[in-house]
Amino acid sequence: MPLYFAYGANMDAAAMALRCPASRLIGQGRLHRHRFIIMREGYASVVRDPGRTVWGVLWELALADVPALDRYEGVAGGLYAKAAQPVVTQGGIRRALIYFGRSTAPGAPRPGYLETVLRAAEAAQLPAEYRREMRAWLRGPG
């Protein structure tokens, strides 16, 4: 089963249980040399930034759940692309599937979206300073 690094709405365990019922939450992870953004379409993404780190959660993703996750992320429509990247875990560095927004232009979050992401980040006990950085997107583009 592949690892999947979620940094946005898919950090929410209840939502993932509906979308990907055979997958299992493992714990926190970090994607170095990237930063969190809200792209112009109003959803979370990450972009390269050598001095920053994106926090999120890791899922052990069942192969049977990958098509549903691809549909949710809008891969066929071009909203997100996916790639395997090194992610820092409690057990060391592991390669994990990550969905990257195809747009790198910053935007404002869709109504209610970032609040959901922030609740999931709090539930995952991501660092308070990182959650403050994410919350700043409520004021608009970064």
Structure tokens at 4: 């999947």
User: Pick the residue with more confidence: 119 or 139?
Assistant: 119
Check 41, 60, 73, 129 and give the catalytic one: 73
Residue 36: count other Cβ atoms within 10 Å of its Cβ: 25
**Whole-angstrom Cα distance, residue 102 to residue 97?**
15
Per the CB < 8 A criterion, the answer to whether 24 and 43 are in contact is no
What integer is the mean pLDDT of 58-80?
96
107 DSSP β-pair partners: none
- pLDDT value at 82 more than 70: yes
Binding-site residue positions for substrate: 113
What integer is the mean pLDDT of 11-25?
95
Q: Is 73 noted as a catalytic residue in this protein? A: yes
- pLDDT value at 109 more than 80: yes
pLDDT for res 19? 94
Q: Where are the alpha helices (DSSP H) in 85-135?
A: 113-123, 128-135
**Whole-angstrom Cα distance, residue 58 to residue 7?**
9
CA-based nearest residue to 23, from 47, 7, 3: 3
**Whole-angstrom Cα distance, residue 12 to residue 111?**
17
Per the CB < 8 A criterion, the answer to whether 105 and 142 are in contact is no
- pLDDT value at 140 more than 90: no
Mean pLDDT of the residues in the chain: 95
**Whole-angstrom Cα distance, residue 93 to residue 87?**
6
39 DSSP β-pair partners: 106
pTM strictly above 0.85: yes
CATH superfamily for 3-128 is Gamma-glutamyl cyclotransferase-like (3.10.490.10)
Residue-wise pLDDT tens digits, 33-56: 999 999 999 999 999 999 999 999
User: To the nearest whole percent, how much of the chain has pLDDT over 70?
Assistant: 99
- pLDDT value at 142 more than 70: no
In the block, which residue shows the tokens 């560095």? 93
Every domain of the chain and the residues it spans? 3-128
What integer is the mean pLDDT of 72-101?
96
pLDDT for res 139? 84
